[in-house]
């Protein structure tokens, strides 16, 4: 969840390169920040260390407008796991001699045991973090082996847990040693040097050529060379990949926040997720990323969807969609719970994991467990080359470009759209084998037509922004909200509640409307607003939803409804209505959640909060 950036090369601008990279990575954590750099020229064996509490801008101010020239720097922005946010706990950490400096993302699970052993040997610790153990381990190993490269490799053999790390030493100037285990780390190849980052977004201004490190691999970076080896010191040849993202997608482009930009990008994001995958004449979808499995797909009789956070709610909608169209049994679980169960899996089970970053720690662990149990491992991810993308048997990319805002927006709607594509794909496969719901060609054609209409319909929804801004002003005085929905809209209600609590710090609960009478209705009064996703009047749960709204009004609860355009019943019940275009019931969550993303955004802005960097949160959850 922390951000790592490094540079070594012929440019003397390493400090500025690292600082700009940290700014691109700040969504990964912003409790504290730090940087260490080698001196320049004859002073290269000197190292200068900077640390601050808070955001990267504080580090920039501390370093000043004219930082020292340097050909090598590593830097870090922190999301605290062990030890409160403070200067002493900020990275980089160092050894007893202040010769070895290290930045780290992950959790060292056996750090207490290692720390006690090192303290008995006389090592002095100055922070409360698990990371500092690594610097002292490397210090001990360097006394034994001599070189930084050998010392890092030896030290990592004692470590249990997850890590992405970068290390420099005063005694070996202009050299970075880096390694990873279950935490992302990417090497960039530039014209005048080499880069290191937790995320490709930090490299896009410098290079599109990258190498993805695999677990327990080590990279050795100098201005003139780049090498890779494993923990047994075997040299490795690595493939160079190209990042296909445009740098503009990682910039605000005139919007005040990334979150608002990404909300407005959703028409284009859905278009890109669908592009080349719909075949209207055949009423079919083409998913080459799944077709690579060939006949193995025909053996799938059951799906398990495992994911976290927003992706979990997308998965719940996927459960409804798969069961409706493909007629295949589906269960959905938090990846953080799934991996600690003893799920019954076999070769006829497909475990589908969903992750925007492709690096979510619990989701990656669930994927690996599923593969060990013999299940077919499928993935829906956005980040090309990520760990999940590389470790699944097959999958589908979202193709929406980088999502920088911590609170997910366009990734959620894209995930639901891609799940609809997958459901149609497996519906066709099942019907050819005489299984499933035998979705007709006409029925599939109607869904495909509705998918095509989503981008213009989303543009229409975004035209209601001023109306939603007024609603945010009206309801900003409240600090508790209930979100309700039924069927497909039930998970959408939970996702909308998550958005509001994430960025406005309001207490919000998402509930199935049918469960309201089993507890939540006790909260309803004139000071407890409800936001209801009503759905289509053609839905068989519409009348029941109306009854739920009647119950709220009977208790004088303020009520906002998200309803289909043309619904004449809703205005007599709701205090305020947000209308959305008509679509297939299964796709309604895509249209319904967008105005509620805007509502959450403006609630946060009105409270003077930064929606891109909500407190205590980070974009890519790479620790358990």
Give the Cα-Cα-Cα angle 582, 485, 318 (nearest 5 degrees). 75
Q: If DSSP codes are grouped into helix, strand and coil, which group holds residue 377?
A: strand
3-state helix, strand, coil in the chain (%, to 5): 40, 25, 35
Q: What are phi and psi of 392, to 5 degrees?
A: -75, 155
In sequence order, what DSSP letters do the residues of 400-429 get, joined into one string? -----SSS-SHHHHHHHHHHHHHHHHHHHH
* Alpha-carbon span 311 to 240, nearest angstrom: 29
- Output the CA–CA distances (angstroms, integers) from residue 71 to 192, 196, 388, in the order listed: 10, 14, 34
Q: Which bin fits 111, alpha (ψ -120 to 50), beta or left (φ > 0)?
A: alpha
* Alpha-carbon span 141 to 121, nearest angstrom: 13
Largest CA distance in the chain: 79
Burial label, 121 (beta-carbon count in 10 A; 0-12, 13-18, 19+): exposed
* Alpha-carbon span 274 to 452, nearest angstrom: 8
Catalytic center residues: 2, 619
Pair type for strands 480-485 and 394-397: unpaired
With a CB cutoff of 8 Å and minimum separation 6, the contacts of 548 are 484, 513, 514, 516, 532
Tally of residues, the chain: 624
Peptide bond into 92 cis (omega under 30): yes
Q: CA-CA-CA-CA torsion for 596, 600, 605, 606, nearest 10 degrees?
A: 90
Contact call for residues 162 and 131 (beta carbons, < 8 A): no
In sequence order, what DSSP letters do the residues of 462-508 get, joined into one string? HTTHHHHHHHHHHHTT--EEEEEE-TTHHHHHHHHHHHHHHHH--EE
**Listed residue (262, 245, 135) closest to 201, CA to CA:** 245
Burial label, 481 (beta-carbon count in 10 A; 0-12, 13-18, 19+): buried
- Output the CA–CA distances (angstroms, integers) from residue 578 to 30, 533, 619, in the order listed: 35, 9, 29
Query: Which residues, in sequence order, are bridge partners of residue 195?
Result: 7, 188
Q: If DSSP codes are grouped into helix, strand and coil, which group holds residue 582?
A: coil
* Alpha-carbon span 319 to 317, nearest angstrom: 5
**Other Cβ atoms closer than 10 A to 543:** 10
Tokens of 490: 């039930």
**Listed residue (397, 382, 401, 445) closest to 268, CA to CA:** 401
């Amino acid at each position: 969840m922390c951000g790592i950036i490094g540079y070594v090369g012929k440019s003397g601008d390493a400090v500025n390169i690292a600082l700009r990279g940290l700014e691109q990575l700040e969504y990964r954590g912003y409790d504290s920040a730090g940087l260490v750099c080698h001196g320049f020229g004859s002073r290269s064996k000197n190292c200068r260390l900077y640390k601050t509490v808070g955001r990267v801008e504080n580090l920039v101010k501390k370093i000043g407008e004219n930082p020292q020239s340097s050909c090598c720097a590593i830097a870090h922005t922190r999301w605290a796991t062990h030890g409160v946010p403070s200067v002493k706990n900020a990275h980089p950490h160092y050894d007893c001699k202040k010769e070895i400096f290290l930045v780290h993302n992950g959790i060292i699970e056996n750090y207490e045991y290692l720390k006690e052993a090192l303290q008995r040997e006389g090592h002095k610790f100055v922070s409360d973090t698990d990371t500092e153990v690594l610097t002292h381990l490397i210090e001990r190993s360097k006394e034994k082996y001599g070189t930084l490269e050998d010392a890092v490799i030896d030290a990592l053999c004692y470590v249990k847990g997850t890590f992405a790390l970068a290390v420099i030493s005063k005694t070996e100037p202009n050299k970075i040693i880096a390694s990873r285990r279950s935490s992302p780390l990417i090497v960039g190849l530039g014209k005048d040097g080499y880069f290191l980052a937790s995320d490709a977004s930090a490299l896009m201004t410098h290079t599109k050529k990258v190498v993805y490190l695999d677990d327990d691999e080590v990279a050795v970076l100098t201005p003139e060379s780049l090498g890779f080896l494993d923990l047994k010191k075997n040299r490795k040849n690595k493939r160079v990949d190209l990042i296909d993202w445009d740098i503009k997608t990682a910039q605000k482009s005139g919007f005040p926040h990334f979150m608002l930009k990404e909300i407005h990008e959703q028409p284009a994001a859905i278009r890109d997720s669908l592009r080349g995958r719909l075949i209207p004449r055949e009423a079919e979808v083409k998913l080459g990323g799944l077709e690579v499995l060939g006949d193995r797909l025909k053996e799938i009789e059951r799906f398990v969807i495992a994911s976290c956070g927003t992706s979990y709610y997308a998965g719940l909608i996927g459960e409804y969609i798969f069961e409706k169209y493909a007629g295949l049994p589906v269960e959905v679980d938090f990846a953080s719970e799934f991996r600690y169960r003893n799920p019954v899996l076999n070769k006829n089970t497909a475990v589908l994991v969903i992750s925007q970053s492709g690096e979510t720690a619990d989701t990656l662990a669930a994927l690996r467990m599923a593969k060990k149990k013999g299940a077919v491992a499928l993935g829906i991810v956005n980040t090309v080359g990520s760990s999940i993308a590389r470790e699944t048997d097959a999958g589908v990319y979202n193709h929406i470009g980088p999502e920088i805002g911590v609170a997910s927006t366009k990734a959620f709607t894209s995930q639901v759209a891609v799940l609809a594509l997958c459901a149609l794909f497996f519906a066709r496969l099942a019907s050819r084998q005489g299984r499933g719901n035998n979705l007709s060609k006409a029925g599939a054609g109607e869904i495909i037509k509705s998918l095509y209409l989503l981008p213009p319909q989303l543009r229409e929804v975004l035209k209601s922004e001023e109306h939603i801004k007024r609603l945010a002003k009206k309801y900003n005085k409240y600090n508790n909200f209930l979100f309700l929905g039924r069927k497909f809209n039930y998970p959408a209600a939970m996702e909308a509640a998550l958005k509001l609590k994430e960025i406005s710090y309001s207490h919000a609960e998402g509930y199935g409307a049918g469960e309201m009478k089993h507890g939540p209705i006790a909260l309803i009064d004139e000071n407890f607003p409800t936001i209801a996703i009503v759905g289509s009047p053609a839905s068989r749960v519409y009348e029941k939803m109306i009854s739920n709204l009647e119950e709220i009004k009977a208790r004088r609860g303020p009520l906002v409804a998200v309803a289909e355009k043309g619904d004449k019943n809703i205005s007599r019940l709701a205090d305020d209505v947000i209308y959305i275009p008509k679509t297939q019931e299964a796709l309604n969550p895509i249209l319904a959640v967008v105005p509620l993303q805007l509502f959450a955004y403006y609630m946060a802005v009105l409270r003077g909060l930064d929606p891109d960097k909500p407190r205590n949160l980070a974009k890519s959850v790479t620790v358990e």
